[in-house]
Structure formats: C-alpha cells, structure tokens
Homo-oligomer: A and B are copies of this chain.
Amino acid sequence: MTYCVAAAVASGIVFASDTRTNAGVDHISTFSKMNVFEIPGERVVVILSSGNLGVTQSVLSLLKLRQADGVLGAKSMFDVAVLVGETLREVLRRDGAALEARHIDAGCNFILGGQIAGEAPRLFHVYPEGNFIESSVDTNYFQIGETKYGKPIIDRVVKFDVPMKDAAKCLLVSFDSTMRSNLSVGLPIDLLAYEKDSLRVTLRRRFQENDPYFREISQFWSSGLRRVFQEVPDVSWS
C-alpha cells in the first residue's frame, strides 16, 4: 500500500509520500513515490504515485525519458496533467489487458503539483482513467493510496491560509496516524515543501526509520492526544 498527500496553501505546496510497496506482507520493498522534475528558476514539478507499481514505474520512466519535450517543456501545469494522464493510458494500452486477464488491479493515481514560470502554483489529482481534477481554495489537498486514517487531522488543520510550516507538520502527523493503523504504510517518508515563486526546490527531506524528529512528533502527538482525551468531559448518561 501507499500513502501520498499534497496540500496547496497560500504560500506554496507541501508534498509527502511513503516509500513502502507490497505485494503481500512477505514482499515489501522500498521505492520512492516522489518524483521531482526541476529547471531551477523556471519550473518545479512534483509527481507522487500510488497503485500498481509496474504501471506507475512505467509511467514515470516514460515521463523521464521524454522530459525534454514533456514535463520540462510543457507550457503549463495543466498541460503536464494532460501528459501524465495520456502516458498512463499509453501504459494501460500496453499492459492493461494482460493484468486484467490475471485479475490484477492495474489502477493507479497520481498527485502532481508545482509551478511553471508565468503561472501560480497548481495542484492536480490524476485518476486511474487518466482524467484529472485541480485543487482550489476550498478543496486544497489531495490524498492517494491509504487515505482515510490520516484524513481527519488534515480536515481539521490544513486550510488554504495556514502557514506552509503548519501544513508540513500536519502531513507528517497524518502519516503518523496512518502508519499506526496500517502496517503497509511505513517509513522512510519523503517530504518536500515548495515555496511559491521560488521556482526551485529548497526544502526537501527524507525521514528515515528512527529519525529523531519524526519520533519526537510521533511521541508528542501521541501524548498530547492522550492528555486532551483525558480532559474531555466524561459521558453524561442522563
């Protein structure tokens, strides 16, 4: 399984993804699901992927192979979203029938976001069918993969006007909740915060197993939740 999330706020876009893939609990591997295409000063495009690893890897391989005329050449983030969708459909034309014949789910989802000079930062969710939607001030984040455990805290915290540092912190807390409830999502976690109009990647970090900061927020959050819980008034039965 996978968990990827990205949130667009006024000051930029924060991306986070885990690195665990599994084909059964006895076949767990580590693959980064965060792919960055960058021309410093001109564009930053980040693509997160979930779903069938064969399909997502092929899509990313093709996007990289053709990046000069593709992701790095596209005139707008909208055009990049179209390109990701078309590349996905191309891979499904090649592999889809064979997977379907074995009842293997070929479905995958992509989050893509970033900024191309001349545009504001933009964030998209590309669906398994290759179509897509764009985020807005009201719906400013997308999740793919194992999304539900980590959704409540994002719903409470990540509004469009929160500082980027709060959005980044919240995505990590959201990962902590997800990893506690689902073993198939795990460290390392890749975190990237794109600052609006910087047109380059300045804040990027991988949280490894036993990362002291991640352990600290995990423990802090856990003990804080328990403290708040104890302070919540007991059920009144009358």
Q: Which chain A residues have a beta carbon within 8 Å of chain B's beta carbons? A: 148-149, 151-153, 155-157, 165-166, 168-170, 172-173, 177-178, 180-181, 191, 193, 203-205, 213, 216-217, 220-222, 224-229, 231-238
Contact = CB atoms under 8 A, between A and B. Distances in A.
A225 B153 contact: yes
B168 A235 contact: yes
A172 B234 CA distance: 10
Q: Dominant SS at the A interface? A: helix
Contacts of A237: 193, 203-205
28 contacts: A148-B181, A149-B149, A149-B152, A152-B152, A152-B181, A153-B225, A155-B180, A155-B181, A165-B235, A166-B229, A169-B229, A172-B235, A173-B229, A173-B232, A191-B235, A203-B237, A205-B235, A205-B237, A205-B238, A213-B233, A216-B233, A217-B233, A220-B233, A221-B228, A221-B229, A224-B232, A225-B225, A228-B228
B213 A235 contact: yes
Contact of A151 (B168, B170, B181, B193): B181
Contacts of A172: 235
Nearest to A168: B235
Contacts of A173: 229, 232
Nearest 8 A-B pairs (CB), nearest first? Answer: A224-B228, A148-B148, A152-B177, A168-B235, A151-B181, A213-B236, A220-B232, A203-B237
